[in-house]
């Protein structure tokens, strides 16, 4: 259901029509859809509502100290000879860096890293914990959840540890869905968003770009994820 996949399906459908006039209409539809998805105003329109309330984490002295910090998994692709910053996706590295920053604010909170490895050896949780350790977090503070495959399973894994007040570190666009998952798991989540993408005001350029297409795709992934989360809950 992502833009590029949808465009490919529509384009192939148009190219295989015997009726050339109808085929051209399908091809034009595919081109128009690709253009719209690649325009900066559309990218901002679908992403900004997810990020507009995602304010960076600041400790509140009047509230109880959080018991845990949960950094949610992202991309993981191990290749021999690469450093951890090359094994983990840039998104994952950004999340770990923010989580390490917060560990220095709350020195008693344990850092939970989650994410499975799929068909790869090891897991993103192990790689994230190792990166956090190399950045100065004591290993006895680290907790790995290597079998958590999605946001809901990550939340359930952290809840199973007994932590009730948890700082959740994930990308700003993903934060609304992550908070919902943690609340449903019986945890009081505290948002610590990072990796913001959308500017405060839109670009009105109508020239399409690969960056805008990637932004639109990521935002639609989140909207569809939230819809599926609500349906399947």
How far apart CA 84 and CA 212 sit, in angstroms, is 28
Q: DSSP string of 11-59?
A: HHHHHT-SSHHHHHHHHHHHHHHHHHHTSHHHHHHHHHHHHTT-PPP--
Mention every residue, 6+ apart, whose C-beta is less than 8 A from residue 216: 3, 37, 38, 42, 43, 46, 47
How far apart CA 172 and CA 178 sit, in angstroms, is 10
pLDDT of residue 21: 87
User: At 183, is the secondary structure helix, strand, or coil?
Assistant: helix
Q: Are 200 and 55 in contact (CB under 8 A)?
A: no
CATH 3.40.50.620 positions along the chain are 68-194
Beta strands at 142-145 and 188-194: parallel, antiparallel or unpaired: unpaired
pLDDT of residue 134: 96
* Alpha carbon 24 to its chain's center: 37
Question: pLDDT tens digits, the chain, 233 residues: what are they?
Answer: 888 899 999 999 898 888 888 889 999 999 999 999 999 999 999 999 999 888 899 887 777 889 999 999 988 898 888 999 999 999 999 999 999 999 999 999 999 999 988 777 889 999 999 999 999 999 999 999 999 999 999 999 999 999 999 999 999 999 999 999 999 999 999 999 999 988 777 788 899 999 999 999 999 999 998 888 778 76
68-194 placed in CATH 1.10.606.20: no
Look-up: residue for tokens 């994410």? 115
Q: Are 182 and 168 in contact (CB under 8 A)?
A: yes
Write down the pTM of the prediction.
0.87
How far apart CA 88 and CA 105 sit, in angstroms, is 24
pLDDT of residue 188: 95
Q: 107, 95, 87: which is closest to 178 by C-alpha? A: 95
């Amino acid at each position: 259901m992502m833009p590029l996949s949808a465009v490919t399906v529509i384009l192939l459908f148009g190219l295989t029509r015997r009726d050339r006039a109808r085929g051209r209409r399908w091809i034009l539809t595919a081109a128009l859809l690709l253009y719209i998805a690649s325009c900066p105003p559309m990218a901002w329109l679908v992403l900004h509502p997810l990020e507009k309330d995602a304010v960076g984490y600041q400790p509140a002295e009047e509230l109880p100290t959080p018991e845990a910090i949960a950094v949610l998994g992202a991309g993981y692709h191990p290749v021999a000879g690469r450093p951890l910053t090359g094994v983990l996706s840039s998104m994952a590295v950004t999340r770990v860096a923010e989580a390490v920053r917060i560990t220095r604010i709350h020195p008693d909170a344990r850092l939970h890293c989650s994410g499975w490895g799929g068909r790869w050896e090891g897991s993103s949780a192990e790689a994230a914990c190792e990166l956090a350790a190399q950045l100065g977090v004591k290993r006895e503070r680290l907790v790995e959840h290597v079998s958590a495959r999605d946001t809901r399973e990550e939340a359930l894994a952290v809840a199973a540890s007994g932590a009730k007040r948890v700082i959740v570190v994930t990308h700003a666009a993903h934060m609304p869905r992550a908070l919902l998952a943690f609340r449903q798991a019986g945890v009081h989540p505290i948002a610590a968003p990072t990796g913001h993408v959308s500017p405060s005001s839109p670009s009105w350029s109508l020239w399409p770009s690969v960056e805008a297409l990637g932004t639109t795709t990521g935002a639609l992934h989140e909207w569809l994820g939230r819809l599926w989360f609500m349906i399947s809950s």
